[in-house]
Structures are given as C-alpha cells and as structure tokens.
A and B are shown apart, each in its own frame.
Chain A
Amino acid sequence: MNTKRKAATVAVAGTAAGALGLGLLAMPAGADSAPELPEIGAQQLVGSVLKTEPPAMSGTATVDNELGLPAMPGVPALDAQSARVYYDGDGKGRVAMEQQSSELTYVLGDKEFWSYDSAEGTATRTALPADARDKHRSAKAAGADPTRTAAQVVDRLEESSTVSVDGTARVAGRAAYELVLTPKPDERTLVREVRVAVDAEKRLPLRMSVLTHGTTDPAFEIGFSEIEFGPQPERLFEFSPPEGTKVTESEAGRPDGPRGESGEEPQFRVTGDGWDTVVLTRVPQEMRDRAQGEGADVEGMLDRFGKPVQGEFGSGHVIETRIGTALITEDGRLAAGAVPEQVLRQALENR
C-alpha cells in the first residue's frame, strides 16, 4: 500500500510538473497588464519620437499579417515572418530574415551595403557614396527644432485624422505609450485606426498595428517580439562573403532591391488626400509582355484572385484585402489605395 501510494504520488507530481512547465512555456509572452505611465500629450510624444536617435539595440521583429491576401503561387507568404535586427546607434545595421533553413541577411556597413541569400549562395554589394552617412546625419541635425516639426507633423495628420495617446501597452517586455491615429468620419477608408506603440523610455516605435472595421484583431502588425538595448559587437556590421559565394556589384544609390530592366519608369499619379488617397499608375507594357513570355498566366491569376468588374472606366479586375483594394483594368491601368472599391472606380472615371 505504501509503495502504491508512493508510486502514485511520484507519477502525479512528476507529470503535473512536466505538464505545468509545458503550459508555462506555451503561454504567449506579453500577457501582462498595461503599465502605469505618466500622462503625455500626442504632440509631445510625436516630438520626442522625432527627436530621438535610435539607440544601439538588438531585437527580433515579427510581421503578423491577416490581410486576407490570396496566396499566390511563387510569392512567399508574408505572414509570421521574423527578422533579427541589430543596430549600432550610429547608422550601421544588420537585418537577418529567418526562413526555416536559410537566411536573408542585409548588412549596412560603413561604406557598403550587402545583401546575402544563404539558400542561393549569392551576395550583392552596393558601394555607398562616401558622404551618405554624413548627409544622413546632417539631415537629422537640420530637422533642428523637433517641437516645431512635431507640431507640423501633428497638424498635418490632424487634417485627416484624430491623433491621441490612448493608454499604455507592454511590447517585448517594455512599457510603451499607444499613439492612435483614427481617420476622420468623412474619410472613405477601410482602416479603422492605426496604433503605434512608442517605448516610454527610449521613445522608439516598437510596434505598429492597422485595425479595420468589424474586428478587434489587427489586420496587419509589425513589431518587436524581443528587444534589448545596448552596444552591439562591431563585427556584425561588417560583411565579407563566404567562399563560394556569387557576388554581384550593384550600382550605388539604389540599395533596395533589383532595378527593373525597363528604362520606362512607371508614372504615378495621386488623387484624393489623407486616408482616401488613391494611387493611379500604368503597368508597363513591357512588364506584362515579359510576364506573358515567362509563361505566367496573368489573366488566369487575376480571375482567380480578383473579381471581374465593369464600369465607365472599362472592365477589369478588383482585388480586395482587408486594408486595401486594387483595381487593374484590361488596358493595364492600376488604381490602389486603402479604400473601398467605389472610391477606386471614381478615381479611374474622373481622370
């Protein structure tokens, strides 16, 4: 009897401890209550954000995407991406986008910008103009009076939105203010509000979420899941490609992404202002031809993801997500914005 009871006790205690441990590990972090912070005005908060120089830090940023975007073949899904971010507080940084068993690394160093893809074993080097960082810094310095800039920014925003500080939140274990932009009622937009969590001490934006009508879960959220402030090792901001890497040189001045082959730059036109801004452009004929040439079934894809529409502008397809809508006409005109379909139709018709 005694051993039976002993056996039962050990079994129950051990299993309970293990299960409890698993439960604790499974609990999502950041479930703590909102911190108590001194009150602050929206303008003051924006001012301090503009004034602050981002400090040296390392962290993990995640993107959470509930846009309702159709999954496209060949296009990597955006959701639940995470990236490790390192910043030395002085213009140099490293971003590592984690994929399951590979990594995309971007290193912004003193004189060059590197991107490295471990899956393909390729790297791209972009030499930065010698004065780029100085210019960047003096531009910061020239923004001299942050309070005045803040006032201008807030005034500008208030033409179309209500700007307020709405309580506090805990992001990546740090106390933060929630700055909220709510579109004015006469703005015709899909967005209900945009919330930016600003670190109470360092005044660094830690998280941005976009909320739409009808749900409480953000449609799009980007923010830090972990962050630590402090100096970073210098070697993180230098890069020398490993042996066997294909290195391509890219032209200076355009460090972001490959440049389109076409000489024809797409023309952008903007109608409306504030939240119901609509961007109108034309998909370059060349690009469409190339897509066709590569065997991509553009029409089929549009049929699958969009719904066909007709109107005074002609006919086309409309693709809807939770925070934005795009309308592509048969003749290659494209209108997009964080607006309902109706606004896009008007924008196309009024040209």
Chain B
Amino acid sequence: MDVMTKPARRTAPASRLVRAELRWIFRRPRTLAVLGLLALIPVIMGIALTVADPTAASSGGPPGNDGGNLLPAAAASVLVLPIAALTMTLQMLLPLAAAMSGADALAGETSTGTLRGWLLAPVGRAKLLLVKALGVATFTLAAAAVIAATGILTALVINGDGTLSTLSGTTLSIPDAVGRVALAVGWVTLQLWAVGAIALAISAFTEHPMVVLASVLGGVIVFTVLGSLDALSWLHPFLLTEVWWSLVDVLRDPVPAADLIDGGLKAACYLAIGLSLAYARLVSKDG
C-alpha cells in the first residue's frame, strides 16, 4: 500500500531547473549576439595592433595611466593579448553584459509575465534566486572565457606559439601561461558575479530591464569618476571598479597576490550585499 501511493513529487529538482534556465538563456538570440561581439574584441585588438606601427604605439601617450602600455606588447603574446582584452572589456563591456543578464533574469521575466509562473510554481524563492544567480554566473563565465579563448587563438594565428613573456621579463611555460589566463578568467568572472548580483537586486525591484541596465552602467561610470578624484581617496577602497586594474598583476612574475585577493574579497562583499537584497525582495514579492 505504501509502495503504491508514493506521493507525486511536489518540487522540481534544482538541477532540472538550472538546466531549463540555462537552455532558456543560451537560446536567446541576444545572448549569442553579445557573446559573439565580445569574441570579436580580441580579434579586432590583435589585428589593429599588428597593423599599427609598433614603435609609434610604444612612444605615444603618458606612461602608466590608461593601460596603454599593455597594448603594444599585447599583439606579440599569447599570454598578454587575452589579459589585455579582459582588462579593457572589464572596464565597461563585461559589466554591461553581466547587467544585461541580471536584467533579463528577473525584470525581463516580470515584464513579459513569465516570472509569475515561477512565483506561483511550487519552487521556493531561495531556489528561484539560486537558479537565476547560477544563470547569470554561467553567462558571465562564458563571456570571460570567450574573450580569453579568442584572445589566445588570435595571438596564435598572428604570432604562432612564440613568446610567453611576463611584464617582469621572465618567460613562462605553456601550461603556466594557460594557468594564468585561467586565473584571470576566474578572477574576472568573480568580479562580474558581484556586478551581476547587484543587477539581480535591482532587477528584483523593477519590471523594466532598461532600469537595471541604466543603473548598473551608471553605477560603473560614477564609481570610475569617483575613483579618479584624488580628493576622495578615503572612498577608493570601497569602490569595486578601483580593484579592476589589478588584473594586470597576473602578468607579473611572481604574481603579487595581495591586490588580487583583496579584489576578490571585495567582490565577495558586493556579492553578499546584492544577493541578500535580491532575496529579500523576492521573498516578499506577491505572485
């Protein structure tokens, strides 16, 4: 008797929900378009730097202010080009992609009415947030990985497997170099998770995806402006955008870990703030 009346399953397993969410995300044309455009950036950088006169590039501009120094070296190296592309896109385009993904996850679904199904379904709100957060996390990882991969491929096509030299003048072995690019991808993804978590929080409060995009992008710009004002130096340790330059440290040898760890911890703090706010809003949201 007991065996016969096994109760119908009341909740879907999380893994199935995540798979459904991922399929949903990666079948959207705009997701693929964004990933495709991000993949083009290292290719464009590589070609532009090869075509441009390298001597003119190295003498132009004041040293050490805008990452310009990284660029002349970038085309020459399988190691430097992916990192340079990640550093550049991390300033604006990757946060934009993370914000887009966060905006679609909640606000987008609210605006098309599909979130209602989630809220009424027998799925806990914590599980819902987990699924959405994992969706954003996977998308940002894919974005960073795509940039690194096309960066490596572009440099290989332009130079062959030539030079793997660090900023400190040492030459790395291939596994070591790949490890560093992987480290950079992981670190960038963590930073993007922080941005994505804030985007999710805003996303939970609104039903207009554009509001999420605008506020995250505006936030990044405001943080960058605040970071460039010397008079506000007391505020700088709190700004997430300030730590993004330390990505260059993976090109030094040995890697000075202090700034990278510090940046990772700060991202974790933003992640905690964003996710807890998003959860608080989702829990009290009416179906």
Closest to A226 in B: B258
Query: Is B269 located at the chain interface by the 8 A CB criterion?
Result: yes
Contact of A96 among B168, B262, B281 (CB under 8 A): B168
**Is the CB–CB distance between A102 and B167 below 8 Å?**
yes
| Contacts known (A25-B269, A239-B169, A242-B163); A7 close to B65, Cβ less than 8 A | no
Binds B, one of A118-126, A140-148, A196-204, A309-317: A118-126
A232-248 near B? 1/0 per residue, CB < 8 Å:
01011001111111000
Interface size range of chain A in the complex: 35 or more
Q: How far is the CA of A244 from the CA of B159 in the complex (A)?
A: 12
Contact of B73 among A7, A17, A105, A118 (CB under 8 A): A118
Binding site for A on B (CB under 8 A): 58, 63-65, 67-70, 72-73, 76, 87, 162-163, 165, 167-171, 237-238, 245, 248, 252, 254, 256, 258, 262, 265-266, 268-273, 275-277, 279-281, 283-284
Closest to B281 in A: A7
Contact of B254 among A17, A76, A120, A236 (CB under 8 A): A236
B contact patch SS: helix
Q: How far is the CA of A239 from the CA of B276 in the complex (A)?
A: 49
Contact of A99 among B64, B163, B271, B277 (CB under 8 A): B64
Query: Is A271 located at the chain interface by the 8 A CB criterion?
Result: no
Query: Is A215 located at the chain interface by the 8 A CB criterion?
Result: no
A window 82-104: CB within 8 A of B: 84, 96, 98-103
A242 to chain B, nearest CB (A): 3
A contact patch SS: mixed
**Is the CB–CB distance between A17 and B167 below 8 Å?**
no
**Is the CB–CB distance between A22 and B169 below 8 Å?**
no
| Contacts known (A18-B272, A22-B269); A7 close to B70, Cβ less than 8 A | no
Q: How far is the CA of A21 from the CA of B271 in the complex (A)?
A: 11
Query: Is A14 located at the chain interface by the 8 A CB criterion?
Result: yes
Closest to A241 in B: B169
**Is the CB–CB distance between B279 and A100 below 8 Å?**
no
Given A101-B87, A242-B170, 13 extra CB contacts under 8 A: A10-B276, A11-B280, A14-B272, A14-B275, A15-B276, A22-B237, A101-B64, A101-B70, A102-B69, A116-B169, A118-B169, A119-B69, A121-B73
| Contacts known (A7-B284, A119-B63); A102 close to B277, Cβ less than 8 A | no
Query: Is A19 located at the chain interface by the 8 A CB criterion?
Result: yes
Closest to B277 in A: A11
Query: Is A13 located at the chain interface by the 8 A CB criterion?
Result: yes
Query: Is A6 located at the chain interface by the 8 A CB criterion?
Result: yes
B274 to chain A, nearest CB (A): 8
Among all A-B residue pairs, the 5 with the closest Cβ atoms: A14-B276, A242-B165, A26-B237, A11-B280, A18-B273
Query: Is A269 located at the chain interface by the 8 A CB criterion?
Result: no
**Is the CB–CB distance between B168 and A118 below 8 Å?**
yes
Q: How far is the CA of A312 from the CA of B76 in the complex (A)?
A: 60
| Contacts known (A4-B284, A7-B280, A26-B238); A103 close to B273, Cβ less than 8 A | no
Closest to B252 in A: A103
| Contacts known (A96-B168, A100-B69); A18 close to B237, Cβ less than 8 A | no
